Structure 1
Amino acid sequence: MDRSTTQFDKYTKIWSGPRPASFFDVDCSIGKILFAFMRNHPNSICQISDTEGTALTNGEAITFAIRIAQQLKAMGLKQDDVVGIMGTNTTYLMPVLLGCLLNGTPFHAVSPWQDEGTIKHLFSITRPKLIFCDGKCFQRLSIIARILKSHVYTLKDHRLGMPRVEDLLEPTRAELYYVPETLLLGGDHTVAILCTSGTTGPPKAVCISNSACLFDFGFVTGQDVLLSFSTIDWSAGMFNMLFSCCHGSTRIIPDRPYTPEYMIQLVEKYKVTLLTVVPQQVASLLKIPKTSAQKLRSIKHLLFAGGHCLVATLKKMQSFLHGSGILRNAYGLTEVGTMVSYNYDTQSKPTSVGRLMANIRVKIVDSSGELQGPKGLGEILCHNGQPWSGYVGNPQATAEMRDSAGWYHTGDVGYFDEDHHLHIVERKKDMLKYLGMMYYPHEVEEVIGQMPDVAEVCVFGIFRETEGDAAAASVVLRSGSKLDPKHVEQYVRKNVSVQFKHLHGGVQFVPQLAKSANGKVNRQAVKAAYLRDATQS
């Protein structure tokens, strides 16, 4: 991948990423591609489950997938049906997903930690005919499964009398001659349905096309060992699976809740080379004494995505890594189906999300609709040149996200610097106004994050009728800290020159910040907890 070819057209005021020759035929099923690669490299280990103590070779995984695909076809599931998935990272989850890809039947992945109401909402949209779930999730989805008359198979924690995934894995004679299904819609065919994070409202069901899955992640090789705690309902979880299958890498799957101690243990045990995390996991790694350069010495690529990481946190994390260029940042949208930009240079550009990925175009539009040039601030609109089937069952939200010309309205505010690096300032909806002056929570978070005793921070506005949104902060302290809330307020007053960005709403210390199912800080939930605690005190 050429890292230096992001270009700016001063006449159209549009930035463009490189346009390499396509490695794949976009109309060729991702299932067919994975089928061919995995059958040709049968002995490579593609997955290790640390929790269950299992390992799958390419040959074993694709054989299980073929059997599941045959069963799906025998059940009458076609390319316009949906298979529901609600499970953690366990042994047979990958073969189930591969089986769906081979049969051309889209899978709708929902977080196994979602509440019953959200599960009902999401599966009511896509109406899956068949659902695979962990046994512990069944109680929460049983009502909607009964309403939809969906057949349910358990992936683990099996329940007495219920079908289990192993029931679909019996050998067949026909598997030796199996041929993956051809996609009727080619590259435009929806192969997966993922969920938005739900931080700005109920989660939406996002269509992911076949063509969106066909990209070559240049630096991933067959010698790499991948680790991510993301489940399959988040794009990082799905694409890590595709990388391991398509590039011959080994993916480590943990079926235990994330803790920084457990992540360090896995990195050291399996000599992980590519670690994918969310910003909050970077911060939590720095909170524990076990983190050291020695324990992280195997890491060649540490990629974080899904939000801001404080500059002070990045600098500290870099001190534990063996060399420059290892700590990287990415920016993307589930709706786009891949990354928009990628930053190989977090040392010299720590606030940037990098240069544009291949075949991505971006323009910056201010509040009056004017296109901006370098350093001009506005909403980020991006274009990937591909069709998008939108949010399932939600044409209004689809039209709001992507306009008639194919531009995605991200809702993120940012700018390009003079080196064509993209910078994200804040979510458009998170913008606050105090005493008539606008500001973004992230600006204040960066200042608070410079305090050595601060591990994590979330800033939000407390509305007051006569003043507007007074900045308030929930702060997670490092172990052993003796910091007082007034110290944080004083630090902000000293280091922020403008009064309207000071913490007029107060400071609260909390043991942890509320997060959505995919690990992103849920600003609204943090604010709600702050207000609730303030009322009770």
Structure 2
Amino acid sequence: MTFKPEYTYDADNKIWSGPQPIYLFAADLSVGEIIYHEMRRHPKLIAQISPTENTILTREELHLNSVRVASYMRQLGLVQTDIVGIIGRNTTHMCAVVYGCFFNGIAFHSLNISYEQENIEKLFNITKPRLIFCDGDEYDKVKSATATWNVRIVTMRNHQSGAISIEEILKTPIEPNFEPVRLEQGNDQTLAILCSSGTTGLPKAVTIPNSSQYYNYYTKLTTDDVQFTQSTLDWASGLITTILSGVYSTTRIIVDTPFDPAYFLRIVEKYKITWVVQTPSHLAMITNCSEFPAANLQSIQCYLYGGGGCSIQVQHCMRNQLGRNCLHLGYGCTEAGSVAVNWNFDEKPNSCGRLTHGIKVKILDEQGEVLGPNQMGEICANNGQYWAGYYNNPEESRNIRDADLWFHTGDLGYIDDDGFLFIVERKKDMLKYQNIMYYPHEIEEVINQMPGVSEVCVFGVWNQLCGDEAAAAVVKKHGADITAEDVEKYVKEHISATYKHLHGGAMIMDELQHSANGKTNRIATKAYFLKIKGIKE
């Protein structure tokens, strides 16, 4: 798949624009209405396969389950202003819960299973869900976290005493002449509430509008496609995959186990997966897997990845194994959605590509002045969509989206003369050593070129005399023999600026610390580094 989406550049205002939005369905239809009717068009097609739970559902079966979940919510008296909570893995009946919410016009607030009870309490206290679906594994902490308000808890698997099982819900009688609801607020109504990345503190509750932007960019999907993502429903990639499977009648492969690169390679070949969404850390883990050189990935037609940095060596390694130009780096954020996708990796490696439909971007310097092509500054995006903001958090909502409806992403980058976006660094990741500014990625790019390196994370270790001393956590490639001293020496030999040398040291790790969505977590990796080294900042 090689093409260059159209874009325009307003030189007077220094604003780039992607192509005009595509509308495949009537503009007034909700996501729930579209999925409800599309699932009925192909009742006998396979909708979902779970190799870890050994289950298969046709679209007819999934549709029936979804309607039963929706009917249960209606029997409880839930209305469109209510919230449903979700905290669970990609298990067999989780998709029915999501579609049931869509059919009723009820937003769900989804949290990651790794959250501790304290965070669950704080986050669910924002939205006060009346009904929560979770795994039995998380039942006790969810029950304790929500003990102060009236909530029903349904378990999806490993059922616990006191909980309602999903199997009970799936026995709910369907009301006569069941139809999906019309949205009281139209497509400005909140579809779902996800979590921000949370690498700089407690995640915020990000509202997602009932917008066509979540399915209109992937029009090449057909009933022949087989989709896979490791992401659960608390991340945009998990939500989008769930929506796309319903809209385009694809087959979806789900797993309820932690990511295993060898297992991923096996299910790609077994189920002939065509469409993949992963994080850069997953990509690095796959290429570092002993089974990777012999893996058959020829079924993959679209391999999308994004959400963090990835070495060009790892990207080329995957590109060569795929054998075709189907490796696509995407860029976006939970708040603004998809901003850019690179459909031209062979021509523009490491670029996030051109802007997606309906997106506008401008680049600002530190004084708020607009910059032109090839000038680095903060990336600001405008998707032209209504956004309700962070749930019950107007102050933080104003901090990220200004009065002119531009999202200030906090990412530094530039757009080149061909309209391709390049991400350079997170604005908040800037470090200073002896009052000289530098960014971790500048050192990471060098270490990634070192033979034997699979992944690297650079961060600052505070020294009261010098400032942020650069330090590196490194994961070796399978079978490589390198030491921390080798890494420090390599940086000295390949970076002339001494303020970028690894004055804080280096460490070889089995794996980097990751956020719940699989992104490399710089803060957690640094904390682990300091703990092992016995350093107190």
Deviation at 1:391, TM superposition (A): 0.7
Aligned to 1:327: 327
Is 2:478 the counterpart of 1:469?
no
In the alignment, residue 85 of structure 1 is paired with which amino acid? I
Aligned to 2:419: 420
In 1, distance between residues paired with 2:432 and 2:162?
57
- 1:519-530 maps to which residues of 2 (within 5 A)? 519-530=518-529
Moved more, 52-61 or 288-297: 288-297
Deviation at 1:292, TM superposition (A): 3.0
In 2, distance between residues paired with 1:356 and 1:443?
25
Is 2:255 the counterpart of 1:247?
no
Deviation at 1:382, TM superposition (A): 0.2
Aligned to 1:444: 443
Deviation at 1:536, TM superposition (A): 6.7
Q: May I ask how many residue pairs the two structures share in their alignment? A: 534
In the alignment, residue 516 of structure 1 is paired with which amino acid? S
Aligned to 1:36: 37
In 2, distance between residues paired with 1:490 and 1:6?
44
Deviation at 1:2, TM superposition (A): 7.1
Deviation at 1:24, TM superposition (A): 2.9
Q: Is the 8 A contact 1:293 1:321 kept in 2?
A: no
In the alignment, residue 529 of structure 1 is paired with which amino acid? Y
Deviation at 1:503, TM superposition (A): 1.3
In the alignment, residue 406 of structure 1 is paired with which amino acid? L
Aligned to 2:482: 483
Deviation at 1:444, TM superposition (A): 0.9
Q: Is the 8 A contact 1:315 1:347 kept in 2?
A: no
Deviation at 1:4, TM superposition (A): 3.1
Deviation at 1:417, TM superposition (A): 0.9
Change (3 A) 1:521 1:121: same
In 2, distance between residues paired with 1:214 and 1:48?
21
In the alignment, residue 29 of structure 1 is paired with which amino acid? S
In 2, distance between residues paired with 1:171 and 1:78?
18
Aligned to 1:48: 49
Identity %: 43
Change (3 A) 1:173 1:412: closer
Is 2:216 the counterpart of 1:215?
yes
Q: Is the 8 A contact 1:153 1:164 kept in 2?
A: yes
Aligned to 1:199: 199
In 2, distance between residues paired with 1:7 and 1:447?
34
Aligned to 1:129: 130
Moved more, 431-440 or 394-403: 431-440
Is 2:80 the counterpart of 1:70?
no
Aligned to 1:376: 375
Cα displacement string for residues 315-354 of structure 1 (whole angstroms, at most 9, x for unaligned residues): 111121122x211110011011x31000012222122111
Aligned to 1:391: 390
Q: SS of the residue aligned with 1:352?
A: coil
Change (3 A) 1:150 1:173: closer
Q: Is the 8 A contact 1:343 1:355 kept in 2?
A: yes
Q: Is the 8 A contact 2:52 2:256 kept in 1?
A: yes
In 1, distance between residues paired with 2:231 and 2:149?
28
In the alignment, residue 330 of structure 1 is paired with which amino acid? G
Deviation at 1:10, TM superposition (A): 0.6
Q: Is the 8 A contact 1:261 1:288 kept in 2?
A: yes
What is the alpha-carbon root mean square deviation over aligned residues?
1.6
Change (3 A) 1:516 1:294: closer
Q: Is the 8 A contact 1:23 1:216 kept in 2?
A: no
Is 2:298 the counterpart of 1:292?
no
In the alignment, residue 209 of structure 1 is paired with which amino acid? P
Change (3 A) 1:2 1:351: closer
Change (3 A) 1:26 1:464: farther
Cα displacement string for residues 190-224 of structure 1 (whole angstroms, at most 9, x for unaligned residues): 01001112101101110001014352412222111
Aligned to 2:89: 88
Q: Is the 8 A contact 2:4 2:344 kept in 1?
A: no
Deviation at 1:29, TM superposition (A): 1.3
- 1:121-270 maps to which residues of 2 (within 5 A)? 121-170=122-171, 172=173, 174=175, 177-211=177-211, 212-270=213-271
Deviation at 1:504, TM superposition (A): 1.6
Deviation at 1:525, TM superposition (A): 0.9
In 2, distance between residues paired with 1:519 and 1:316?
20
- 1:338-349 maps to which residues of 2 (within 5 A)? 338-349=337-348
Is 2:527 the counterpart of 1:532?
no
Deviation at 1:279, TM superposition (A): 0.2
- 1:351-366 maps to which residues of 2 (within 5 A)? 351-366=350-365
Q: Is the 8 A contact 1:278 1:520 kept in 2?
A: yes
In 1, distance between residues paired with 2:181 and 2:51?
33
In the alignment, residue 180 of structure 1 is paired with which amino acid? P
In 1, distance between residues paired with 2:149 and 2:346?
51
In 2, distance between residues paired with 1:236 and 1:293?
28
Change (3 A) 1:305 1:173: closer
In 2, distance between residues paired with 1:43 and 1:18?
36
Moved more, 405-414 or 21-30: 21-30
Deviation at 1:11, TM superposition (A): 0.2
Change (3 A) 1:149 1:226: same
Q: Is the 8 A contact 2:193 2:206 kept in 1?
A: yes
Structure 2, unaligned runs of 5 or more: none
In 1, distance between residues paired with 2:364 and 2:322?
37
In 1, distance between residues paired with 2:269 and 2:215?
31
Cα displacement string for residues 92-134 of structure 1 (whole angstroms, at most 9, x for unaligned residues): 1001110000001111111112111111111011100000110
Deviation at 1:161, TM superposition (A): 4.3
In 1, distance between residues paired with 2:483 and 2:515?
28
